């Protein structure tokens, strides 16, 4: 068949710091998957990307093209929201193992596709294979059956999921291009978006034991992935967490399984427990955009937001989310600083956050320290018989 572009023109365009068009990116990923672009040519392009970077549009299109190279899973048949978690890896990082059953116990479905260790970082699948009889490979139907039975499944990604990424990942590993943030972000997010989850939480490690040792690089990677998730319609949150010391008290497959069971039983190391709970509670904060005195806080808007988070029923007989609601950290008359947390929103279903935030537009106002507070007295009138 006649090809729309040539590998050389794509390589030279990126070498010369030009932005690749959507059509060029679509062809490049597809042509490499089909074997039209040779490994040595793709290696040159990956190095050009490492050195010259990619725009947000290029990264987004590259991710879409990798998703389009294979199948896209769907969990629309489930009666619960789906949520997944990904970690960039570290020493002793076993958070996925206690987190998946914890989130499932809160009412969400967890279709967790995990990977194996890379270098010094341990892999979730390797840890689980220390359990006799456990298998990593499941069909889509087997995954669905496990989720319906217990709420969560952890297994390997199938061969049909983002096959372009599998080829690119292996090539990056031997060409010194693993650290390219556009390539890391698109690799992770292509698989997570193709997985079909409706919400995703990311654990981006930084410190001596992480691939992204510089916190600034880790934060850039986190922001890039959150943006990719948002563009794809996946509610995405990220935490940049420390990996300068090992997480927990064990590093090694069966030892980390033992530690996971201790955490699920109510014990375990405090740092593992704390991080697991942070990811299980996908809360968001509403902060002050200026400094001054908090003048108003609209009770109706707060109430509607809490209702949308799941603290109230939308129809008779609906089961409430008992963990949903809003924490109020400042009241009218309090002096606040820019960036200070005013409200914290909680929900077991991250997909509810956007509509809950919409209800809070104009919910509070901040003025000068001498501005008067306009509010009703606590007791307006006393009526006696």
Pick the catalytic residue from 26, 165, 203, 348: 165
Pick the catalytic residue from 69, 87, 187, 190: 187
Q: How many Å separate Cα 316 from the centre of its chain?
A: 33
- 287 labelled catalytic: no
Cα→Cα distances 261→197, 217, 267, 357, Å:
26, 33, 9, 36
Residue 165: count other Cβ atoms within 10 Å of its Cβ. Answer: 26
- 187 labelled catalytic: yes
Cα(145)–Cα(136) distance, rounded to whole angstroms?
Answer: 15
Cα(151)–Cα(145) distance, rounded to whole angstroms?
Answer: 9
Pick the catalytic residue from 191, 237, 293, 352: 191
- 26 labelled catalytic: no
Residue 343: count other Cβ atoms within 10 Å of its Cβ. Answer: 22
Evaluate the CA torsion angle 189, 194, 199, 205 in order and state its sign. Answer: negative
Pick the catalytic residue from 172, 205, 237, 308: 172
> DSSP string of 230-271?
HHTT-EEEEEEEE-SS-SSS--SHHHHHHHHHHHHTT-S-HH
Please list, in sequence order, all residues whose beta carbon lies within 8 angstroms of the beta carbon of residue 125, skipping any fewer than 6 positions away.
114, 115, 116, 136, 154, 155, 156
Cα→Cα distances 32→35, 211, 317, Å:
5, 26, 53
Residue 46, token pair as written in the block = 């990956």
User: How many degrees, rounded to 5, is the angle at CA 73 between CA 28 and CA 170?
Assistant: 40
Give the three-state DSSP class for 93: coil
Pick the catalytic residue from 14, 61, 85, 86: 86
Q: Are 165 and 191 in contact (CB under 8 A)?
A: yes
SS3 content of the chain, % helix, strand, coil (to 5): 40, 15, 40
Cα(158)–Cα(140) distance, rounded to whole angstroms?
Answer: 8
Cα→Cα distances 184→180, 210, 251, 340, Å:
6, 13, 24, 32
Where in the sequence numbering do the catalytic residues fall? 86, 165, 172, 187, 191
């Amino acid at each position: 068949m006649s090809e729309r572009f040539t590998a050389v023109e794509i390589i030279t365009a990126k070498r010369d710091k030009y932005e690749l068009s959507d059509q060029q990116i679509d062809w490049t990923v597809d042509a490499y998957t089909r074997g039209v672009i040779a490994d040595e040519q793709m290696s040159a392009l990956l190095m050009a990307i490492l050195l010259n970077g990619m725009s947000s549009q290029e990264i987004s299109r590259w991710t879409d093209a990798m998703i389009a190279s294979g199948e896209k899973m769907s969990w629309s048949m489930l009666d619960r929201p789906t949520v997944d978690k990904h970690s960039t890896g570290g020493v002793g990082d076993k958070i996925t193992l206690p987190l998946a059953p914890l989130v499932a116990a809160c009412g969400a479905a967890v279709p967790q596709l995990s990977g194996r260790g890379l270098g010094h970082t341990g892999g979730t699948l390797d840890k689980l294979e220390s359990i006799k009889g456990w298998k990593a490979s499941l069909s889509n139907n087997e995954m669905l059956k496990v989720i319906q039975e217990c709420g969560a499944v952890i297994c390997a990604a199938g061969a049909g999921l983002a096959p372009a990424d599998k080829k690119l990942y292996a090539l990056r590993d031997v060409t010194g291009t693993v650290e390219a943030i556009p390539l890391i972000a698109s690799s992770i997010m292509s698989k997570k978006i193709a997985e079909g989850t409706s919400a995703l939480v990311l654990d981006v490690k930084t410190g001596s034991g992480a691939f992204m040792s510089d916190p600034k690089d880790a934060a850039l990677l986190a922001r890039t992935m959150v943006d990719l998730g948002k563009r794809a319609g996946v509610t995405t949150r990220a935490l940049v967490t420390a990996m300068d010391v090992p997480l927990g008290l064990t590093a090694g497959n069966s030892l980390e399984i033992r530690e996971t069971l201790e955490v699920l039983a109510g014990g375990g190391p405090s740092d593992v427990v704390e991080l697991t709970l942070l990811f299980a509670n996908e809360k968001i904060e509403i902060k002050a955009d200026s400094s001054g005195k908090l003048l108003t806080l609209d009770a109706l808007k707060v109430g509607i937001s809490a209702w949308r988070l799941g603290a109230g029923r939308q129809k008779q007989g609906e089961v409430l989310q008992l963990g949903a609601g809003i924490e109020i950290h400042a009241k009218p008359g309090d002096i606040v600083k820019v960036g200070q947390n005013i409200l914290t929103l909680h929900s077991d279903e991250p997909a509810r956050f956007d509509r809950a935030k919409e209800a809070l537009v104009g919910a509070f106002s901040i003025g000068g320290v001498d501005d008067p507070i306009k509010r009703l007295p606590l007791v307006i009138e006393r009526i006696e018989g």
